[in-house]
Amino acid sequence: APAGYQARPDLLAGKTVLVTGAGDGIGRAAAETYAAHGATVILLGRTVDKLEAVYDAIEAAGHPQPAIFPVDLASADEQSYRELAQAIEENFGRLDGLLHNASVLGERRPIESATWKAWEEVMQVNVNAQFLLTRHLLPLLQRAPTASLIFSSSSVGRRGKAFWGAYAVSKFATEGLMQVLAAELENTSQVRVNSLNPGATNTAMRRAAYPAENPTDNPGPADIMPAYLYLMGDDSAGVHGQAFDAQG
């Protein structure tokens, strides 16, 4: 986002936005922030208790009533995504935004000793599920006057690093999916597509990846929301096919 970017309070008024992994970490902050800026947020995740807590917080704050869609991205089959798209169409008619945020870290070890099971789960959640969701929600995004798709990347999705294994590879794939889609939608669609690297952020994933670090040395999810707002809202109209960093 441009330095010092501040979203106006009604930036997302009238928009319906889906956030994956909305129950915790950055996804939770994004869901609550989007709702606070007027969006009707569709909370997708695997742990219903967590999604309900986010739902309650949004309602208690008096923001537009959200919706909950429990989906386990590790095990959902293609039919589940078709049904999800159908349910969104019936309830909202279209989709104005999609934040692909859910991810798993997997194993932190050399490729030499990586296990197929962990590799497969990371690729399923971080890549395959992301493709299926994009594939089946694109028609609803194309129905919106303008729509924004944000893919969550990482520094290791732009430059590989030892011991980051499937996670790093999944983030390179995420950048690839973003670029392919951006090229296909160039000039033919009002849907814009970008990737966003949150940078080191104090969440459960970061604490698991860096157990020796003092967690509060990193910004919290709420601190990095300007970039998430900028890319989701119409202030970034015309910004397409680019890789962003939430922390500059």
Distance CA 32, CA 46 (A): 17
**Counting contacts by CB under 6 A, is residue 198 touching ligand NDP?**
yes
**Counting contacts by CB under 6 A, is residue 32 touching ligand NDP?**
no
Distance CA 94, CA 232 (A): 15
Contact set for ligand NDP, span 37-66 (CB under 6 A):
45-47, 50
Q: Which stretch binds ligand NDP (CB under 6 A): 4-12, 25-33, 106-114, 235-243?
A: 25-33
**Counting contacts by CB under 6 A, is residue 148 touching ligand NDP?**
no
**Counting contacts by CB under 6 A, is residue 114 touching ligand NDP?**
no
Distance CA 220, CA 228 (A): 13
Among 192, 203, 224, 230, binds ligand NDP (CB under 6 A): 203
| Strand bridging mode 16-20 / 67-70 | unpaired
| Strand bridging mode 16-20 / 243-245 | unpaired
Q: Which residues pair with 19 in a beta bridge?
A: 43, 99
Catalytic residue among 34, 55, 81, 167: 167
Whether 5 is a known active-site residue: answer no
In order, the DSSP letters of 205-218 are: HHHHH-TTS-GGGS
Q: Residue 82 or 161: which CB sits closer to ligand NDP?
A: 161
Distance CA 167, CA 108 (A): 9
Q: Residue 37 or 50: which CB sits closer to ligand NDP?
A: 50
Residues acting as catalytic residues: 167
Q: Which residues bind ligand NDP (CB under 6 A)?
A: 21, 23-27, 45-47, 50, 72-74, 101-104, 125, 152, 154, 197-198, 200-201, 203-206
